[in-house]
Structure 1
C-alpha cells in the first residue's frame, strides 16, 4: 500500500515559512563534472591502447616473387599468441605470395598463411622465426552490449598504430563477404575505420579482442563492421586442427534475437537468445526439414543455441550428413524437426 503522507507534508503550508537555508538544502545537487567523465573515458582508451597496441601488426602483401613488379596491399593484424599466430582478414591476404609483418617496436618478419576462411573473411598467419611477441587475448563477444565502449587499432590509409574509439552500435548483423556468402553475427560499431584497418582488432575496455575489423560501407558515416571474436575463435581452432574450416550447411540466413521470457517459460527452455531464420534457400536442408522464415532456433542436436555464433559452431564437420533434431520456436510454440546438414562447399577466393 502506498503511503502519501510524506508527499502531502512536502506540499504543506509550513514549507512556505521554511528558512532560506532549508530551501537551499533541498535544491538538487550540481550535475557531475563533465571533465571527470571525459578523464575516465580517456583513461579507459589509453589503458586499452597501451595493453593491446603492441600486439597490433602491419600486414604487407605482394602477389609476385621478390624482385618482380606486382601488386601489393597493406592491412592490419593482431598477434594472439607469443609464438607468432596472427589473425587478419582473408581479403587482406588475398592471393599474396609474400607477406611481411611489422609492429610499432620495429620488429619485421616474413609470415606464411596457415589457412583462410573467405566465408568469415578471416585468415590465420604464422610469423616466421618470431617468438615472445606481444599478444592479445580473444574475449567473449556474446557478453557485448549495445552502447559499450570499444577501441579500434590499426593502420588506416597507411598511418601506423592509429587508435579510434566508439561504441557497439548493433549486434547480430549480417554482411556479405568477399566470397559472396553472408557473414553472420557481425558487430556494428561507429569507431572510425578506413582502408588499412582491415584485419585489426576491435577491443573492449577490458583489453580483450572482441572483433576483427572487416568492412566499411562506402558513403556511410560511422557504420563499420567487425567479425565477432567467438566466430574468430571457431575459425582459428578449425584452421589449426585441419588447415581449413569444414562446416555443415543447412541453407539459412539468420540473426541473433532475444527469446521473449513468456515464450521460453511456455516452451520449458532456458534460452534468453536464439537464432532467427531470416531467409531459407530452396531445396536445402532447412527448407526440406520444414523450417520457415521467422522460426527461432533454440537447440540443435542437443546443444543449446543462443544465437548465430552458436548455430555456426554447432554445424561442425562431425554433424555433416547426419540426421539431427533441431528445435525452434514458431509463433511462441516449440517445434521439433529432423534436419540433415550437408558439407558446405569451400568458397573460391
Structure 2
C-alpha cells in the first residue's frame, strides 16, 4: 500500500504554509474581546429577567406594544408614555413567558415616561443608576422587544451626553443620552444598561433615516419622575400664565444685561387671573432672565419653571419699551400648556 506524502502549499516566498501560533498582540486582542463579551453577557443574565414586553390594554384589548423594565421588587415598572398611549392598564410578558397584569400609577408625556405597578411580589428588578457618572465611549447595552422579537440585546457606546429631545407634548426633555446601540420599534421603554448592571436610561426614540443615532431618557430624570409620580400622581411644574415666543434682542440690550444669548421671550398674551397679570406683565414685554438664569427662548422659560418654584417669589428681568425692569412674581402649579 502506497503511503501518501503530505502536501504543503507554498506562499510567494516558497515557504511552507503551516499553522501559526497566535502572536502576543493577537492573544491580547482575543482576551479583550472575551472580556467585552463577558461584560455584556453578565449584564444580560442579570438584567434580562427584569425586562418585559408591555401591551397597553384599552377595553380589554391590546393597543400596540413596547418594552418596560421593573425597577423595584414590589413591581414598579418604567416604560414610555408614548407606549401607553393614555391607557390605564397593561399586560406584561416576562422573559419566562408568563403574563403579568399591571396598572398605571402616573404618566408624564413631557419626559415620555410612564410608571406602572405590576401585580406580584419579589419580581426580578433592575436598579436605576446615577447618569451623572456616565462618560462618552462607555459601553451601553439595550434590552427590549424590537419589532416583536422578545429579549433582544444590542450593544454600543454612549455617543453623547446632555442632549435635548422634544417630547410629543412639545416640551424639551433635557439631559438625554445619545447612543449607537441599535434600537427599533418595540425597544421603546426598555432599559439602557451600563456594564455595572445599573439602568442608566430608558430608551425612547430613534431618528428615522439616521444610522446609529438613538436616544434614552437619563436615569436621573427617570428617578425624579418616579418620585414625583409616587408622591403626587403627576410631575409638578410651575406656570406664570403667559404665552410667549422667542425673539432676537438688540445688541445694546444683550451687552447691557450681560447676556450670552441674543434672544429672549416676548410676551404674546397674559392669562387672566394668572401670576403674570397680578405682577402686571404686559403684552410686548421681553423676558430676559429668571432668578438670574438667562432666558434665551421659550424652552428655557419652560425648563426654569420647575416644581421647586411653585408658590415662591422669583425675579424676572424684563425689557419694556426699551427699558429694563425687575419684576417679582409667584408661579403657580401648571395645569395647562401655558408657560
- TM-score exceeds 0.5: yes
Please say if 1:42 is aligned against 2:37: yes
1:105 shift after superposition: 1.6
Q: 1:51 aligns with which of 46, 54, 67?
A: 46
Is 1:92 aligned with 2:83?
Answer: yes
Q: Tell me, yes or no, if the aligned pair for 1:99 and 1:112 is still in contact at 8 Å.
A: yes
Q: 1:62 to 1:277 in 2, by over 3 A?
A: farther
The CA deviation at 1:283 is 2.8
**1:176: Cα distance to partner?**
1.2
Q: Hey, what's the Cα distance between the residues in 1 that align with 2:77 and 2:261?
A: 33
Confirm whether residue 62 of structure 1 aligns to residue 52 of structure 2. no
Which residue number corresponds to residue 123 of structure 1? 114
Say whether the 8 Å CA contact 1:118–1:347 is kept in structure 2. no
Q: Secondary structure at the match of 1:99?
A: strand
| Aligned mates of 1:124, 1:138 — CA distance in 2 | 14
| Cα-to-partner distance string for 1:139-191 (whole Å, 9 max, x where unaligned) | 01111111111100000000111010000111111111121221111100000
2:105 paired residue among 101, 108, 114: 114
**Residue 267 (structure 2) aligns with:** 283
Which residue of structure 2 lines up, in the alignment, with residue 184 of structure 1?
174
The structure 1 residue matched to 2:231, chosen from 233, 238, 241, is 241
Q: Pairwise CA RMSD of aligned residues?
A: 3.3
Structure 2 vs 1, CA of residues 45 and 114 (structure 1 numbering), >3 Å: closer, same or farther? Answer: same
Check the 8 A contact 1:64/1:98 in 2, yes or no: no
Distance (Å, rounded) in 2 between the aligned partners of 1:324 and 1:80: 36
Q: How many residues align?
A: 269
Distance in 2 of aligned mates of 1:231 and 1:166: 22
Query: Within the alignment, does 1:104 sit opposite 2:104 as a pair?
Result: no
Q: Do residues 76 (structure 1) and 67 (structure 2) align?
A: yes
Per the normalisation by structure 2, the TM-score is 0.70
Q: Bigger radius of gyration, 1 or 2?
A: 2
CA deviation vs aligned residue, 1:227-265 (integer Å, no higher than 9, x gap): 001110110000000111111258999xxxxxxxxxxxx
Partners of 1:289 and 1:323 lie apart in 2 by 16
Structure 2 equivalent of residue 155 of structure 1:
145
Q: Secondary structure at the match of 1:283?
A: strand
Q: CA separation in 2, counterparts of 1:142 and 1:50?
A: 25
Say whether residues 1:214 and 2:204 are aligned partners.
yes
Find the aligned partners of 2:127 and 2:71 in 1 and give their Cα distance: 6
Structure 1 residues 224, 63: CA separation in 2 closer, same or farther (over 3 Å shift)? same
Consecutive unaligned residues in structure 2, runs of 5 or more = 1-23, 246-259, 269-275, 277-284, 317-325
5+ residue gaps, structure 1: 1-28, 254-275, 298-307, 327-335
Match in the other structure for 2:6: none
Q: Distance in 1 between matches of 2:76 and 2:287?
A: 40
8 Å Cα contact 1:64-1:97 kept in structure 2: no
The reply on whether 1:232 has 2:232 as its aligned counterpart is: no
CA offsets per residue over residues 117-150 of structure 1, 9 Å max, x none?
000000000113x111000110011111111111
